[in-house]
Amino acid sequence: MKRPWPVLVFGCLFILAGMVGLIFHLGERLLERDYILIAGIRVLAIIGGIFLLLGHNWSRWLMLAWLAFHVIVSAFHSLQEVAAHIVFLLFYACFLFRPPASGYFRSRY
C-alpha cells in the first residue's frame, strides 16, 4: 500500500523537530544535568518519525504519547504553547488514526 500523505508529513515533521531540538539544546544546555532527558525526548521524535515513515504501528502510538507529553509540559509555560500542542495533537490523531492511514499501518506488519 502506498504511504498516505499525512504519514509522510507527520513523519518528516517529527524527524525535523527532533533534529532541530537536539541541535538547539546541544548548544544551550550541554552542561545541565537534565540534558540527557531532553536529548532522549528529541531522539525519540527522530526514531518515531523514521519508523512512522516505515509503517510501524508502534511508532504511531509512540508519537501520540510524545505529543501528549508535550501538551503536559507546555502547560507549565504559556497558554499559547498548550493550545498549539493540543491542536497539533488533535490533527495528528485525526489524520493518523483514521483510514487510510490506519490501513497503511495494518498492511505493513
Q: What is the per-residue pLDDT for 30?
A: 59
- Cell triple for 60: 504511531
Tens-digit pLDDT string for the chain (109 aa): 788 999 999 999 999 999 998 888 776 665 667 777 888 899 999 999 999 999 999 999 999 999 999 999 999 999 999 999 999 999 999 999 988 888 888 865 5
pLDDT at 83: 95
pLDDT of residue 109: 55
pLDDT of residue 67: 95
Report the distance separating Cα 38 and Cα 64, nearest Å: 18
How much is the pLDDT for 31? 62
Predicted pLDDT at 108? 57
Structure confidence at residue 44 (pLDDT): 96
